[in-house]
Structures are given as structure tokens and as C-alpha cells.
Amino acid sequence: MQAKRDLVTASNCLNSNDYYACAFFAQQAVEKGLKAVYLESHQLWKIHDLVKLAREIKAPSEIILKCSQINPVYTDVRYPEADELPSEKVTKKDGEEILKLAREVLLWIEKRLL
């Protein structure tokens, strides 16, 4: 699953102090994992909202909560504000927390896909 590979990339980015890239790839991993579950019974849905995806696949509330914490990363790192670059905005602590949440969501997804 590409989601697993993106999670490895996120971890590598964390290790190289590229925290914004870590956050981005962690978000992408979760999005791809949720879409893998969604595609089991639906056609492709072009959406980036992790909460909507999680709700659509009837994820438990704790997974939806984790998705809500990861969700802002998509716009924060892809569409930076003029006064703050993503590379300056996302801290090591942010990267670590998002990566942790992403791992937990993907663990749930893997169990669901088995």
C-alpha cells in the first residue's frame, strides 16, 4: 500500500528535520489509507478531507478525532500564507505528533483491510 511508503517518507523527513514535509507525507499516508478502505465499496472520491472520508467509511470516533487533528496539514503545507512558510511553521513537535497520529490511523486501517 502506498500509504505505508508515504509513512516511511514522513519518518525520513522527520529524521532530516524537514518537519513540514513530515507532516505533509503523514497526512498523505492517512488520506491514501482511508481511500483504500473507501474504494472497497465505492468509486474514487476526489476529496482531501480526512474527517469526511473517515465518517464515510464509518471509522470509530477516536479515528475521526485523530483525522481531525491531521486534517489541517493539507492546506497548511500546500497553501502557505505570505508571511509564514510551511518550513518555518511546522515544528519538530508538530511533525512528531502528526506522524504518531498517522501511524495510529494506519494501524486501524490495516486491521480493517485484513
Tell me, what CATH number does 88's domain have?
A: 1.20.120.330
Model-level pTM greater than 0.85? yes
Show the domain range for 73.
2-113
Asked whether the predicted pLDDT for residue 103 surpasses 70, the reply is yes
Radius of gyration of the chain (CA): 14
pLDDT at 82: 59
pLDDT tens for each residue of 40-98 = 888 888 899 999 999 999 999 999 999 999 999 988 888 777 567 778 888 999 999 99
Domains held by the chain: number: 1
Residue 68 main-chain phi, psi, to 5 deg? -65, -30
Can you read off the three cell numbers belonging to residue 48? 482531501
